[in-house]
Amino acid sequence: MEPVIFEERKTQIQRKGAKGAEPFSISCNKNSLAGAVSQRACVFCGSRVVLYPIADALHLVHGPIGCAVYNWDIRGAMSSGPELHRLSFSTDLREKDVIFGGEKKLYQALLELIDLHKPNAAFVYSTCIVGIIGDDLKAVCKKVEAEKGIPVIPVQSEGFKGNKREGYLAACQAMFTLVGTGDTSAISPLSVNILGDFNLAGEIWIIQDYLKRMGVEVVANITGDGRVEEVRRAHGAALNLVQCSGATMDLAKMMQQKYGIPFKKVSYFGIEDMSDALYEVAKFFEDKAPEIMARTQELVREELSDLYPKLQLLRKDLVGKKAAIYVGGAFKAFSLVKSFRHLGIDVVMVGSQTGTQEDYQELAEITDEGTIVVDDTNPLELSAFIKEKDVDIFVGGVKERPIA
């Protein structure tokens, strides 16, 4: 029996191949239904998860203490050096500050933290309450920047302005103020920026190693294991590789418009997508370095010869199992569907917080008949779908963990 769904949510849920559901169509990128306990986050959350992995920057939340706690270190982005990003700083606005304004408190907090931690830049996040009381974030940041000689960047991320996707844009706009301010003279003509990977488990170091073996320089990691100076010189790269399209696509488009840097959408999840990503880079640079394709083919051959036998062993125990997927960015869902297929696991439900029409159309094309495709779901829906489909494994994020 199908679960009961809120009337206002029905257009955001589709069953592939269901009667009356063809052609496939789904509503998305809209504000969450009030009271439905959506898994989607606010603007502030979106901006912070994107900028947070820049490890040598100060991240100061201007607002009540609860905002600084929300999503602090939620991803645990790994750094090969400084770990200033792992600390959570807040101006801790109280009732008195709401009445009289929090600008003086912000100014003093910035001076104190910059003197104490010596960051290479500071990001200052505005929260809902700051948008309501009207603190002039830009003026305070400009004053401190002049006094301390480092970039102090306001992130206009008032939570009530929309959802997580608007937060991605706020983060990209903040980073773009840094791009173009560094020295690019020593950058190789075979060079890329890695956009949209947050180095949750050190994966960006593996990607960098692959690119190095191909003969390609990585100029900037934006933002996993990121550094302020890398972002400042990112405009010197020949190509942007955009993984989480929702999070950093705006920055890639800004850099294309101002600096003429082309971008390619890629994924590093799974055998097919990782191979395709490396081949895309090789094709782009083939005119400048004809030997790069041969190096890439050899690299892929080496990795597959090691991986494939191990996958076949795992497959024996996993064929016929059922999986449900609910992730933040839809790009991860594409790769997971393909990866589960290699293991013989059937994906029976898939969804995301921030997917677009194009994302869901692609998911519908690569999944089997009867698969539930869902946008911006809630715990009751997820629980019902998991029970209905008798799922063996549920892939989700931090907020979905209790459901599993």
Q: What single DSSP character describes residue 291?
A: T
Confidence at residue 25, expressed as pLDDT on a 0 to 100 scale: 83
pLDDT in tens, 250-291: 999 999 999 999 999 999 988 989 999 999 999 999 999 999
Sign of the CA dihedral 7, 8, 11, 16? negative
Query: Cα separation of 372 and 288, whole Å?
Result: 45
Structure tokens at 378: 């809630």
pLDDT band at 95 (very low <50, low <70, confident <90, very high): very high
With beta carbons less than 8 A apart as the criterion, state whether 350 and 325 touch: yes
DSSP reduced 3-state for 376: coil
Q: State the Cα angle at 2 between 401 and 27, rounded to 5°.
A: 75
User: Percentage of the chain surpassing pLDDT 70?
Assistant: 96
User: Percentage of the chain surpassing pLDDT 90?
Assistant: 74
Distances (CA, A) of 253 to 43, 165, 243, 401: 20, 15, 14, 34
Q: What are the structural domains of the chain? A: 7-30+319-400 (3.40.50.1980), 43-176 (3.40.50.1980), 191-303 (3.40.50.1980)
Confidence at residue 161, expressed as pLDDT on a 0 to 100 scale: 84
Confidence at residue 127, expressed as pLDDT on a 0 to 100 scale: 95
pLDDT in tens, 297-323: 999 999 999 999 999 999 999 999 999
Confidence at residue 54, expressed as pLDDT on a 0 to 100 scale: 98
Tell me the average pLDDT across 150-156: 98
Q: State the Cα angle at 118 between 115 and 124, rounded to 5°.
A: 85
Q: Where are the alpha helices (DSSP H) in 268-376?
A: 270-285, 292-318, 330-342, 357-366
Tell me the average pLDDT across 363-384: 91
pLDDT band at 38 (very low <50, low <70, confident <90, very high): low
Q: What are phi and psi of 14, to 5 degrees?
A: -135, 145
Query: Cα separation of 40 and 45, whole Å?
Result: 10
pLDDT in tens, 212-241: 999 999 999 999 999 999 999 999 999 999
Type of residue numbered 161? K
Tokens 């190096």, residue located: 295
Tell me the average pLDDT across 6-21: 79
Query: Sheet of 346-352: strands edge to edge?
Result: 13-15, 372-375, 346-352, 322-327, 393-395
| Per-residue pLDDT at 371 exceeds 70 | yes
According to DSSP, the residues that pair with 192 across neighbouring strands are 218, 239
Confidence at residue 244, expressed as pLDDT on a 0 to 100 scale: 73
pLDDT band at 335 (very low <50, low <70, confident <90, very high): confident
Helix (H) or strand (E) holding 154: strand 152-155
Query: Cα separation of 35 and 38, whole Å?
Result: 8
Confidence at residue 24, expressed as pLDDT on a 0 to 100 scale: 79
Tokens 């898939």, residue located: 350
Confidence at residue 34, expressed as pLDDT on a 0 to 100 scale: 65
Confidence at residue 284, expressed as pLDDT on a 0 to 100 scale: 98
Query: Cα separation of 370 and 376, whole Å?
Result: 19
pLDDT band at 21 (very low <50, low <70, confident <90, very high): low
Tell me the average pLDDT across 123-142: 96
pLDDT band at 202 (very low <50, low <70, confident <90, very high): very high
With beta carbons less than 8 A apart as the criterion, state whether 189 and 217 touch: no
Most confidently predicted of 3-7, 92-96, 374-378: 92-96
| Per-residue pLDDT at 74 exceeds 80 | no
| Per-residue pLDDT at 248 exceeds 70 | yes
- 68 versus 399: the higher-pLDDT residue is 68
Tell me the average pLDDT across 43-66: 95
With beta carbons less than 8 A apart as the criterion, state whether 223 and 50 touch: yes
Confidence at residue 37, expressed as pLDDT on a 0 to 100 scale: 57
Q: Which of 14-18, 38-42, 388-392 has the lowest mean pLDDT?
A: 38-42
